[in-house]
Amino acid sequence: MKKKNVWVKRTSFELLRQQFIEIIDLLNEKQVPYYLEGGALLGIVRDGDLLPWDNDTDLSINYEDHKSFHIAASEISRLGWRCKIRKFRKNNVFATKADIRVLKVSDYWLAGTSA
């Protein structure tokens, strides 16, 4: 796949939805188990669609899938999307500081506004 024009993607909700589907299709193709989180999950559950004002896609994984998730994140980055892996801030009963908490996928031009 070749990266599309970032500005066009974020000015059209339909194109934003297509970007989301590209990422999900890639993860499914690579058989990387994931689940939605944050605004992506809220929009899908509450509204049945993405939130038009959200500027990233939040995905999480189970710890045992972290190696395949890193590979998929690299491929998403190669498509031209910004991938930020966030980890836990401190150790807790279900995760350590080294564990991945969420993958945030967004456009580079929104990097300063991504939560």
C-alpha to C-alpha distance for 56 and 44, rounded to whole angstroms: 14
Query: Which pTM was predicted?
Result: 0.68
pLDDT confidence band for 95 (50 / 70 / 90) = confident
User: Which residue carries 């896609």 as its tokens?
Assistant: 57
Domain with 76, as residue range(s), is 6-110
Is 1 within the bounds of a domain? no
Convert the pLDDT of each residue in 38-70 to its tens digit.
888 999 999 999 888 887 788 887 777 878 878
Report DSSP letters for 55-67, one per residue: -SEEEE--GGGHH
Is 56 within the bounds of a domain? yes
Is 57 within the bounds of a domain? yes
Number of domains within the chain: 1
Task: Tell me the average pLDDT across 13-27.
Answer: 82
Helix or strand or coil: residue 52? coil
Is 70 within the bounds of a domain? yes
Q: Are the CB atoms for 56 and 114 separated by under 8 Å?
A: yes
**What confidence score (pLDDT) does residue 112 get?**
44
C-alpha to C-alpha distance for 19 and 25, rounded to whole angstroms: 10
Is 115 within the bounds of a domain? no
| CATH number, position 23 | 3.30.980
